[in-house]
Amino acid sequence: MTVHIDSTAPELERLTLGFVPLLDAVLLIVARERGCFAAQGLDVSLSRENAWATVRDKVAAGLLDGAQMLAPMPLAMSLGLGRAPCETLAPLLLGCNGNTITLSDALSQESGAALSEDPASSALALGDWLRHQRPAIRPRLAMVYPYSCQHYQLNEWLALGDISQSRDVELVALPPPRMVEALRDGQIDGFCAGEPWGTLARHCGIGRLVATGAQLWPDHPEKVLGVTRSWAQRYPATLAALLRALRDASVWLSASPDHLRQARDWLALPPYLDRSVRHLETLVADSAPIHQRFFGANMLRPTPQAALHFASPIVQHLEQQGGRFDPALLTTCYSPVHFDAATHQ
């Protein structure tokens, strides 16, 4: 597929993009606060959404022009998993890594599950404890959305400890901003979510990190910019301007440690992440054990190959429901063609 971008001004001057309060919304926030959107002729409003299902439905309905999305979401939306099919594209990656598996302080202490270089060790500790103690109430673990890297990584970590989802634990879905409060109130016993929620739980003394997404799936795409295919076809120059603005935000963010501190201050503004990032002195980038990345050589450019890891459980789920998967859909959803045309790669 070839995309030709007209050099004229964007078709839309004003647009609204959705985000969920997570660190990997940073490029959207930097692009607005730094003026990267404005430099491309765009007046962008950012709409804070607390649940991924809300993001999905608002983009599909045209209430949002686009949004930060979980990396598997464009594929799941295109397949009609969780709602009516809506062809959705991921023309840019917003971040890699960033997830943590966090257990309550009590469950971590009792089971001996602790963070180490090998994520299997904490899973085995929890699995052994569950088999020996046989608690009357199964631990309840939360993930953010059924079709998410968080769900699939949590499944993979449980399997490392030979922990049965049907017998040993209960899995529930919760919006990321609810995780810490639910853990504090005893509604859940652990969760897998993106930052800053795992380190915030640790900072508050109510949770401990026991594994990270970077350990389970090193350098996996975690968030993307998502737009419907029809929107991309209708507003190609607007999409190109949007992609260039986010690229410029990424370049600025990577240029100096001072920029990371400034980005943290922008994230801490009330319309964005507010108090949830006050435990961070700076916006940490690519540090152990989480290794979250928002910039780097070619990091923003999507490829179908990078999507294979999270596409596999989606395909398996579809086939279990009697559906058939067309590999061409993966290529369409995660094609770099729009990014390359916008940035002249």
Kindly report, residue by residue over 224-243, the tens digit of the pLDDT.
999 999 999 999 999 999 99
5 has a pLDDT exceeding 70:
no
What CATH number has the domain bearing residue 210? Answer: 3.40.190.10
Domain boundary among 165, 194, 216: 216
Tell me: pLDDT of 6 over 50. Answer: no
Q: Classify each residue of 263-300 as buried b or exposed e, where b means 16 or more C-beta atoms within 10 Å of its C-beta.
A: bbebbbeeebbeebbeebeebbbeeeebbbbbbeeebb
* pLDDT tens profile 92-131: 999 999 999 999 999 999 999 999 999 999 999 999 999 9
Looking at residue 7, its pLDDT comes to 57
Predicted local distance difference test score (pLDDT) of residue 226: 98
The answer on 234 and 92 residing in a single domain is yes
Reported confidence tier of residue 269, pLDDT bands at 50, 70, 90 = very high
State the Cα angle at 199 between 127 and 50, rounded to 5°.
100
Are residues 163 and 267 both part of a single domain? no
- Say yes or no: 306 and 231 in one domain: yes
- Confidence check: pLDDT of 345 > 80: no
241 domain-assigned: yes
In a domain, 4, yes or no: no
Q: Is the pLDDT of residue 2 over 80?
A: no
The residue type at 297: A
Q: How far apart, in whole angstroms, are the C-alpha atoms of residue 213 and residue 150?
A: 8
C-alpha to C-alpha distance for 73 and 254, rounded to whole angstroms:
27
pLDDT of residue 70: 98
Distances in Å between the Cα of 206 and the Cα atoms of 48, 138, 176, 180, 342 are: 26, 19, 16, 8, 45
Residues 6+ apart with CB under 8 A from 265: none
Residues in the chain: 345
Alpha-carbon Rg for the chain, nearest whole angstrom, is 20
Is the domain of 296 the same as that of 208? no
Q: Which domain-ending residue is among 216, 248, 271?
A: 216
Question: Is 3's pLDDT higher than 90?
Answer: no
Q: Give me the pLDDT at residue 146, please.
A: 96
Together in a domain, 113 and 261: no
Number of folded domains in the chain?
Answer: 2
pLDDT value at 11 more than 70? yes
**Co-location of 21 and 153 in the same domain:** no
Q: Are residues 336 and 257 in the same domain?
A: yes
Listed residue (254, 227, 263, 257) closest to 339, CA to CA: 227
pLDDT at residue 42 greater than cutoff 80: yes
Per-residue confidence at 8, pLDDT binned at 50, 70, 90? confident
Last residue of a domain, one of 216, 234, 250: 216
Across 20-41, average pLDDT: 98
**Which residue shows structure tokens 């029809």?**
230
Q: What is the arithmetic mean of pLDDT over 251-260? A: 96
- For residue 3, tell me if it sits in a domain: no
What's the domain range around 33? 14-97+221-343
Q: Is 80 exceeded by the pLDDT of residue 29?
A: yes
Answer yes or no: is pLDDT of 322 > 70: yes
Q: Which two tokens stand for residue 258?
A: 């001072």
**Mean pLDDT of the 213-227 span:** 97
* Two structure tokens written together for 188: 């859940």
For range 199-205, the mean pLDDT: 98
d(CA 213, CA 211): 7
